[in-house]
Structure 1
Amino acid sequence: MTTDARDVPADPTSTERLSAAGLDYRIVDLTVDETANGFQRAADRGFLGAEPNAESLAQGRKTFAQRRNIGVYEPGAPATALPVATTNAWVTPLTVPGGGELDMWAISMVTVAATHRRRGIARSLLEGELRAAASAGVPMAGLTVSEATIYGRYGFGSAIPVAHLTIDTRRAGWGGATPSGRVEYVDRETLAADIGTVHERARRGVAGRIPGWQGRWEGLSGASPAGQDRDKARGVRFLDDAGELRGALAYTLNEKGDSFRFRLDIGLLVAETPDAVAALWRFALQHDLVDEVTADLRPLDDPLPWLVSDPRGVTQVVHDHGWLRILDLPTAFTARRFSAPVDLVLRVEDSLGFAAGDWRLRADASGGATVEAVTDAEIDITLDVSALSSLYSGGVRAATLHGAGLITADAAAVEALDRALVAFPVPSLDIWY
């Protein structure tokens, strides 16, 4: 049974550290309106969002209440006070190479007020989350980040890159087939339900993905009263020849200047069959009056550049998105499958101690693996836990990190590790969390 993060107490080390700095670190009780509202307002402020109204607060609490919420307060602050820092977490299944799942401590809403920077708060928040996860026996932590320079120092590695696509529809055209089945408009509530249904099916076959949640789907579909661009949100779904739901697309339309030409911004395209992917892309690219289509968080093996007549009409920008942090190395690596046999001894450096040590990793031709701690063994590869975490899902090449000086090993060991870890299909993560 998956651990409920809300049952895990506040980390004593971070509690003590922040107390010594004159701050109060504690779990926030969202059953108290004043406390809950202050926490949510502080989180929105931290991400430079607008001051939330009553509807936004009520909508957000439906999600926040399912998570373990941590706030940092000035001593003696009243219940209505905004915390000076926030974070929350929950335990969710992470799809791993081979289609299995691993419990992951998902971290979100990490904010520190601009008035309280450089006081060690972020360190206490993040290390506190990692210690809490490890104490609960959760073998992996993960997050998506607004800044990419912070998290490596805590052992996180950029593990799941994605692509931002911009399509000039008039140049790109359409070169793919016209799949059988049909695309149809749906209302906001139906779209939210359909996105959730297809996403849950599709995410189980792609390493790096996690389940979404109702508040996320309602925000994308416009069904949420607090959703961004709510009034612009639209959506369609794809049904196959048998009438089965196989894909859904949430998008907004934004006018470009005063020419009555538009840009179609895809909020989420989810599909579980190639026909569904093609049909939904075709709908977007051939939409009347649309000159440009944008989509972020697309997998690096997205077929779109091969579905158009002129691939130079498609601009792809690859960027980091999913970050992982190994806490229990044997559990994490025996949960996934390997693409080639391997027998290597890894020396893993971890300043926080969770994954540090010398480990013999062996995988056989069936893809199953064993990991055991060793002593006095010849070391094949030396790397930091952040580098190993980047490699875990199979979407980042060991050769790349070796070339960057982040792995110490000979070429044969690097190639052996690459062949073993590569994952099919390419890992991806299509939501923020």
Structure 2
Amino acid sequence: MTEAELPIEPATADDWDGVSALLAGLFHHTVESDVHESERLVFEPDRSLVVHDDGRTVAHAAAFTRDLTVPGAVVPAAHVTMVGVAPTHRRRRLLTRLMQRQLREAGDAGREPVAVLWASEGRIYPRFGYGLASQRLVLDVATREVGLPEAAGGRLRTGPPATFQAELAGLYDQLRPDRPGWSSRPGRWWEHLLGEFPSHRDSATERRAVLYEGAGGVEGYAMWRTRSEWIPGGPTGEVRVEEVVAATPDSYRELWRFLLSIDLTRKVTYPFASLDEPLQHLVAEPRHLVPRVADALWVRLLDVAAALAARRYRTPVDVVIEVTDPLLPENTGRWRLTGDRYAASCVRTGDPADLICDVRDLGAVYLGGPELTALADAGRVREMVPGTVARTAAAFGWDRAPASLEVF
């Protein structure tokens, strides 16, 4: 059967069952009715592409309509998700065709200058122009070894997260514009994210929330689960932290004091710590945080000029960048980027290039994460005018390392 016999089609709401079954098989989990219905809440048929074969869904790619915080700004971003091809239909260019069509349609719509995703495998998406834009620390904390942060005062309240949804959402939205890598949670996203499903617990308890209240009201929250474990010498339970959001140093410190001192536990895990996570500077023995670096967000510039003009720059920048983009050739060419912390512009130019790079390299530095100097040292960015890499790298940095609190 040729690929021409398997057209790519826009999805409808009726495709959700087939899409869900395809993804369950690809990611090795069972379709459960409660999870299935929760995921339906955020499924956007008009942003999904499907391939059918004899009535069965055999390939799919989708995007969520959400905003993304970038250095100094918030931009609309296609949150690419649910990408996969049935094992019976590999090697037919279905994935390539899906990704190319998705990029083209998002770019033609002009509504989003960037796309962002989490990659199941890091070697898949660079060939579609995505660059690794942020990393995270996975913490595996021995709580008796690290030492607790100093007490900060304030008041803590605990309970089921759903009972605090308005307060959680309010604080998250208050802080999000200053946190590169955070995504908006519009519509029914909070309902979806706070859904409680036994299959997601992995032998742990239901999700719990703790709020920190200071002089300004709710200034921080955390969500976690616990898993009970005992050995002959006593309890060795685990705290699985899912999200920590803090507006002040006191709230951050007191939330972590709480999480690191829950009775009958000896271990805390946290998979979404940022590379500049303050906890590393609060505990007495940071080695026992046992941090491990993992990849996080991958970014693809759909419109180079609009994307580079949308964000802000830590130091003044005036540079001509020659970009290659085989999949979206309208991005190919020379672009003059000028900007600072307050404004930016990016326009096509005939001036000689100061730097030459591929579009994926711009995606990699877009959130202020990897240094442009590292990409140059790896041979991925060419410096045509001496000193340009260092100056431009300083401009693309930002006050906080990019981070993301959820896999979408």
Q: TM-score, normalised by structure 2?
A: 0.92
1:349 paired to 2:324: yes
Q: 1:49 aligns with which of 10, 26, 29?
A: 29
Equivalent pair of 2:41/2:192 in contact (CA under 8 Å) = no
State the match for 1:420 in structure 2. Answer: 395
State the match for 1:395 in structure 2. Answer: 369
1:152 paired to 2:152: no
Deviations 1:226-268 (A, max 9, x none): 7611871232322323372222222121234645321111112
User: Where in structure 2 are the equivalents of 1:24-103 lying within 5 Å?
Assistant: 24-30=7-13, 32=14, 35-53=15-33, 55-65=34-44, 68-74=47-53, 76-77=54-55, 81=56, 83-98=57-72, 100-103=73-76
Deviates more, 1:183-192 or 1:406-415: 183-192
1:301 paired to 2:285: no
Question: What is the rounded CA distance, in whole Å, between the counterparts of 1:19 and 1:271 in structure 2?
Answer: 54
State the match for 1:211 in structure 2. Answer: 184
User: Where in structure 2 are the equivalents of 1:327-346 lying within 5 Å?
Assistant: 327-346=302-321
Question: What is the rounded CA distance, in whole Å, between the counterparts of 1:368 and 1:187 in structure 2?
Answer: 42
Question: Quick one: which amino acid aligns to residue 299 of structure 2?
Answer: L
User: Where in structure 2 are the equivalents of 1:5-404 lying within 5 Å?
Assistant: 20-30=3-13, 32=14, 35-53=15-33, 55-65=34-44, 68-74=47-53, 76-77=54-55, 81=56, 83-98=57-72, 100-137=73-110, 138-174=112-148, 176-212=149-185, 217-218=190-191, 221=194, 223-225=195-197, 228-229=200-201, 232-242=205-215, 244-256=217-229, 258=231, 259-352=234-327, 353-363=329-339, 367-375=342-350, 377-404=351-378
Equivalent pair of 1:191/1:250 in contact (CA under 8 Å) = no
Cα drift, residue 52 of structure 1: 2.4
Cα drift, residue 272 of structure 1: 2.3
Cα drift, residue 354 of structure 1: 4.0
Question: What is the rounded CA distance, in whole Å, between the counterparts of 2:266 and 2:375 in structure 1?
Answer: 39
Equivalent pair of 1:219/1:226 in contact (CA under 8 Å) = no
Cα drift, residue 71 of structure 1: 1.5
Question: What is the rounded CA distance, in whole Å, between the counterparts of 1:227 and 1:215 in structure 2?
Answer: 21
Structure 2 SS opposite 1:269: strand
Equivalent pair of 2:44/2:63 in contact (CA under 8 Å) = no
Equivalent pair of 1:234/1:251 in contact (CA under 8 Å) = yes
Cα drift, residue 67 of structure 1: 6.0
Cα drift, residue 313 of structure 1: 1.3
Cα drift, residue 363 of structure 1: 2.4
Deviates more, 1:322-331 or 1:238-247: 238-247
Cα drift, residue 170 of structure 1: 1.0
Structure 2 SS opposite 1:64: coil
Question: Quick one: which amino acid aligns to residue 64 of structure 1?
Answer: F
**Cα RMSD between the aligned structures?**
2.2
Cα drift, residue 332 of structure 1: 1.0
Structure 2 stretches lacking a partner, 5+ long: none
Q: TM-score, normalised by structure 1?
A: 0.87
Cα drift, residue 219 of structure 1: 5.9
Question: What is the rounded CA distance, in whole Å, between the counterparts of 2:84 and 2:99 in structure 1?
Answer: 11
Cα drift, residue 22 of structure 1: 2.0
Q: Check 1:191–1:44 CA distance in 2 against 1; reply closer, same or farther (3 A cut).
A: farther
Question: What is the rounded CA distance, in whole Å, between the counterparts of 1:268 and 1:159 in structure 2?
Answer: 20
Equivalent pair of 2:11/2:46 in contact (CA under 8 Å) = no
Question: Quick one: which amino acid aligns to residue 123 of structure 1?
Answer: T
Equivalent pair of 1:196/1:213 in contact (CA under 8 Å) = no
Question: Quick one: which amino acid aligns to residue 118 of structure 1?
Answer: R
Deviations 1:331-379 (A, max 9, x none): 1111111111222111111111142111111225x5422222112x222
Deviations 1:47-91 (A, max 9, x none): 2221323x33222211114762221111x42xxx3x111221133
Question: What is the rounded CA distance, in whole Å, between the counterparts of 1:426 and 1:146 in structure 2?
Answer: 22
Structure 1 SS opposite 2:388: helix
Structure 2 SS opposite 1:224: coil
Equivalent pair of 2:66/2:185 in contact (CA under 8 Å) = no
Deviates more, 1:271-280 or 1:230-239: 230-239
Equivalent pair of 1:220/1:268 in contact (CA under 8 Å) = no
Q: Check 1:64–1:227 CA distance in 2 against 1; reply closer, same or farther (3 A cut).
A: farther
Deviations 1:97-153 (A, max 9, x none): 11x211111111011111111111111111111111111102111111111111111
Cα drift, residue 195 of structure 1: 3.4
Deviates more, 1:409-418 or 1:151-160: 409-418
Question: Quick one: which amino acid aligns to residue 362 of structure 2?
Answer: L
